[in-house]
Amino acid sequence: MLRDARSVQRRLDILLATAAASDDPSLARVAEARAAVERLVLELTFRQHGDRRGQRRGRSIR
């Protein structure tokens, strides 16, 4: 899921650059979407790191 979210983030970066260059009125909406996806990527990244830490702790106990 993290990989897909990062892919969406890259696509929104391109869309944001295009909208900014053409002074498109939907620029604010694209920026909002980009910010939301950025928050999602951060959340998924933290979750993934937490899962990895849990797995490491589980292995060290055995």
Q: How many domains does the chain have?
A: 1
pTM for this prediction: 0.75
10-62 residue pLDDT tens: 999 999 999 999 988 999 999 999 999 999 999 999 999 887 777 766 665 54
- Count helices and strands (H / E) in the chain: 2, 0
Segments forming the whole domain that contains residue 44:
2-61
- CB within 8 Å of 18: residues ≥ 6 apart: 24
**Could you give phi then psi for residue 8, rounded to 5 degrees?**
-65, -40
